Structure 1
Amino acid sequence: MRSVDLSDAKLVSLYRNGDEAAFEELVRRHKAKIFTTIYLIVKDHYVAEDLLQETFIKVVDTIQGGRYNEEGKFLPWVVRVAHNLAIDHFRKSKRYPTIVLEDGSNVFNTIDFAEDSFESLQIKKETHAHLRKLIQTLPEPQKEVLIMRHYAKMSFQEIADATGVSINTALGRMRYALINLRKKMRKSNAAYDPNFYPR
């Protein structure tokens, strides 16, 4: 039987036993969907290519290391690996998010510096760094949606597709993320300029 006629599970089994062609068929079969999953998040062709390669390196390591146990669910597993790598890429990046609260106001709208002196730039940098730390303390599903929406500029439809949930679920997670973020910002109010935090 030709490799194109075999199931993913059979191809994984063959590859585990040293059949390189079996893995090539898995890559050929699913490369486009996995690339799209990554590209929807990073919105950069070259970054997506790099992360696609990284995804398959992880897949090889997992299968050859005997740690793969998602029999019959190869594609959902690889998509999850790719998705996590893409999200990690944003966590490590230095880009600052534009966080819009429930009432439509921008978290940073209240930061108004008369001039960009060294001191004011330092305060702004520290405020952004503080916000990033607060985002990291959110529950994982909320943090994920927030990062995808504000770092990656993804639509809620794209977020729903990438995370495998309904648009309503994605919107709900975003709403709770903003509510929790605002609570956390208010709690840490004492250490920062009170004008920074929306009322």
Structure 2
Amino acid sequence: MMQKNSITDSTLVSNYIKGNEAALAILIKRHQQRLFSFIYSKVHDRDITEDVFQDTFIKVIRTLKKGNYNEEGKFLPWVMRIAHNLVIDHFRKTNRMPSFKNTDEFDIFSVLGDGNLNAEKQIIKNQIHDDVRELINELPEEQKEVLVMRMYKDMSFKEISENTGVSINTALGRMRYALINIRKLIEKHKIILVD
């Protein structure tokens, strides 16, 4: 009998997919502390954290059962991404989505996004945020609208389509042109995106 701790996440995942229910319990136990802390650091509320934690694993189970899990042996980052998206959904539902705020969690241009910046780098990063925000104002109105909805308000293209009265394809097209134009403007204004 193998020691639980020596079984890799990917082995546990494939065991669970093959019908070994106990494998999921080991995975949850292994990562619950880290995941719980991650969610709590975003929502600052134990009850909401519990809800998001439960919802994350419901989604994990559904995805695994459907066979949609892309096996790359990176189980934890995948679960964290699901949790992060659910946190964003929570903020959207409660209208607490920080729009136009530079927070590491929900930032369009968060290159590092982990708070480990020293003061000088933070100042440079803030300057870049301001510079890029200025550039957004130079975009044609319809491109600017889609970019803001998608990047700052984290709306889906379906929601953008409903809000702007254009098809999803048109919204996608505007987003693509907005990003192309932003890239051109960044080069034109010689803004260097530090990492």
Cα deviation for residue 19 of structure 1 reads 0.7
The change in CA–CA distance for 1:67 and 1:98 in structure 2 (over 3 A counts) is closer
The change in CA–CA distance for 1:71 and 1:90 in structure 2 (over 3 A counts) is same
Q: Hey, what does 1:56 align to over in structure 2?
A: 57
One-letter code aligned to 2:96: R
Is 1:161 aligned to residue 114 of structure 2? Answer: yes
Structure 1, unmatched stretches of 5+, are: 102-140, 147-155, 189-199
One-letter code aligned to 2:107: V
The change in CA–CA distance for 1:37 and 1:92 in structure 2 (over 3 A counts) is same
Taking structure 2 as the reference length, what is the TM-score of the superposition?
Answer: 0.56
The CA distance in 2 between the partners of 1:177 and 1:88, in whole Å, is: 26
SS in 2 for 1:145: coil
Cα deviation for residue 8 of structure 1 reads 0.2
Cα deviation for residue 181 of structure 1 reads 6.8
Root mean square deviation, CA, Å: 3.7
Q: Is the 8 A contact 1:3 1:22 kept in 2?
A: no
One-letter code aligned to 2:65: Q
Q: Is the 8 A contact 2:105 2:113 kept in 1?
A: no
The change in CA–CA distance for 1:59 and 1:180 in structure 2 (over 3 A counts) is farther
Bigger Rg, structure 1 or 2: 1
The CA distance in 2 between the partners of 1:63 and 1:144, in whole Å, is: 27
SS in 1 for 2:113: helix
**Residues 140-155 of structure 1: pairs in structure 2 closer than 5 A:** 144-145=106-107
Q: Hey, what does 2:15 align to over in structure 1?
A: 14
SS in 2 for 1:144: coil
The CA distance in 2 between the partners of 1:75 and 1:143, in whole Å, is: 18
Question: What's the CA shift string for 1:1-26, capped at 9, x where partnerless?
Answer: 13332000000011001111110000
One-letter code aligned to 1:33: R
SS in 2 for 1:79: helix
Cα deviation for residue 171 of structure 1 reads 3.9
**Residues 35-74 of structure 1: pairs in structure 2 closer than 5 A:** 35-74=36-75
Q: Hey, what does 2:80 align to over in structure 1?
A: 79
Cα deviation for residue 41 of structure 1 reads 1.0
One-letter code aligned to 1:7: T
Q: Hey, what does 1:88 align to over in structure 2?
A: 89
The change in CA–CA distance for 1:62 and 1:182 in structure 2 (over 3 A counts) is same
Cα deviation for residue 99 of structure 1 reads 5.6
SS in 1 for 2:114: helix
Q: Hey, what does 1:132 align to over in structure 2?
A: none
The CA distance in 2 between the partners of 1:39 and 1:63, in whole Å, is: 25
The CA distance in 2 between the partners of 1:183 and 1:99, in whole Å, is: 16
Structure 2, unmatched stretches of 5+, are: 143-195
